[in-house]
Structure 1
């Protein structure tokens, strides 16, 4: 199901877009494949006296705070519409066959304990969740919606779930990478220039969109990896293991090693 949601208060604009959708997608709307919704004004709390943080202006703090509430409204509505939920925007272009690519990647990970699949590196675009996890995500965002943007809050959710304060940052990043899996190349590219924040020009683009890969996408079981080999130009073993890159090392000598310490026992076949 595709759910279009309007967060604008300009009724003339909303009505014109709804009319355009009804004309363009009348069959899909009548069949229930496409739905068009908007939150009631009563859904939003008073956003006039928010604390300015991270150097953001009062207008920007209000914008990002409302955006967090916008996303929560959409996620709560759409949660029971399908097995997965993926966030898209109205100013993106997509890679050909993106839907089947996403479906196949999710099925490949059906037995894995993931929380976020990323099909774009930009903000909240192309982030996919399993529907049962939406409840936790929304509850967490509701607690801190005034504090930070949603993409920052998502990282905090992962930290709370799997990071041990008694371990170092590398251990935390490794644990989070088991829950947050990045697909490359990106399937979505942001092309819009005008943000919903008045006066803001949005020039963000995803550098991984349609970028040719020099390695095969893969998913490995959770493990701690290490090597004595000298890494070349940042192509680390850690990035390789989580499917983000290829491994490149130089000047190997006798006694060098590559070590995989699995979190749980695994069956290995030659």
Structure 2
């Protein structure tokens, strides 16, 4: 399964890192072994390409090394002279350039991907997925093959070009069509035109043509992908379309956490308080975190902690994240020879929220022993509210020694 994601420089907000995080999190270990995610940095500015590639490699190094994630970028010579494009469909020059470049970006990705796998899925850099989406798509594809359906497209999202699956052996036909008409129409219109050209007769009416197209362009419901980006890569364009077939977005993740006394200096919004979030009933929504604000979990009694995960922001409010915020623990007994940073009041810094994903996850060193308190400490003023959509603190469970054999 090859997943193609073109990404470009966005003036307002980039969704790429959150999209990659979601794509990977919603794959099982088996799905990861049988998939490739290709990120196509569709720019010619070498400095931007390098910065974007380094950011991806820094946050997803493990998946780069296993081959799950690949990064490619075009030569500047791949694109035409933008000043010589013909204005078509009555669109202004800026929009003509934008949709023309998108056509060529998709063509580049498909050319690169066609030898990489069996199936290719076109995605965008501002989407969410459903858990197990890879297996669901594969099973649907194999079902059509088993039933001897001669399909061209399997559609897993009702919006634009998102979630369209093709056989890799068919990609060369798409590339040829897109390259031939890249200046004339948007890419989703070209896709429809290509299917129509392939299956419809000129001497048949519109209804018959639609019937033929529906026989090779199959739709899966409910949708597996949802568009979440608001600000388009086209300057000034706001895109609020949502796929109603996707269903409700998961706004929080529930876990059973250890018994703790909770406290925070942050004022919560309405009923989105810390206690309900800790129980997994909803998310915590705090108003304007400022330097020195904190969220504390005092364990009763103290516990050894194996690992932790805190996720900020959610699909409806992706920017409401914790920035410049550390995860800190207070051991019952101060560990000796510990190299982690230590605060003046005795806490050790064991994690940091990443600006790009809004997530902090990690482990607590075993020699720390029992932990009396874990806290999130805000180290800088924020201009936005902050959401904690996942709180997961996993105690270390000591295994019982196996009984010895009687002599």
TM range (shorter): 0.7 to 0.9
Q: TM-score, normalised by structure 1?
A: 0.75
Hey, which of these two has a bigger chunk of strand by percent? 2
Q: Give the match for residue 209 of structure 1.
A: 246
Q: Could you say what secondary structure the match of 2:56 adopts?
A: helix
CA distance in 2, matches of 1:13, 1:200: 22
Q: Give the match for residue 135 of structure 1.
A: 172
Q: TM-score, normalised by structure 2?
A: 0.50
Alpha-carbon shift at residue 48 of structure 1 (Å): 1.1
Alpha-carbon shift at residue 49 of structure 1 (Å): 2.4
Q: How does 1:241-260 map to 2 (within 5 A)?
A: none
Which consecutive unaligned segments of at least 5 residues does structure 1 have?
Answer: 212-270
Match of 2:122 among 53, 74, 87: 87
Q: Give the match for residue 66 of structure 2.
A: 31
Contact 2:230 2:238 in 1 (8 A): yes
Match of 1:45 among 72, 75, 80: 80
Q: Give the match for residue 237 of structure 2.
A: 200
Alpha-carbon shift at residue 196 of structure 1 (Å): 1.3
Q: 199-208 or 9-18, which moves further after superposition? A: 9-18
Which consecutive unaligned segments of at least 5 residues does structure 2 have?
Answer: 1-35, 249-407
Match of 2:194 among 157, 169, 178: 157
Structure 1 vs Structure 2 CA RMSD = 1.4
Contact 2:44 2:75 in 1 (8 A): no
Alpha-carbon shift at residue 98 of structure 1 (Å): 1.1
Contact 1:95 1:210 in 2 (8 A): no
CA distance in 1, matches of 2:46, 2:105: 17
**1:72 paired to 2:107:** yes
Alpha-carbon shift at residue 10 of structure 1 (Å): 4.2
CA distance in 2, matches of 1:121, 1:16: 33
Contact 2:130 2:225 in 1 (8 A): yes
CA distance in 2, matches of 1:113, 1:4: 29
Match of 2:95 among 60, 80, 89: 60
Match of 1:99 among 131, 134, 159: 134
Q: Give the match for residue 184 of structure 1.
A: 221
Match of 1:173 among 210, 218, 228: 210
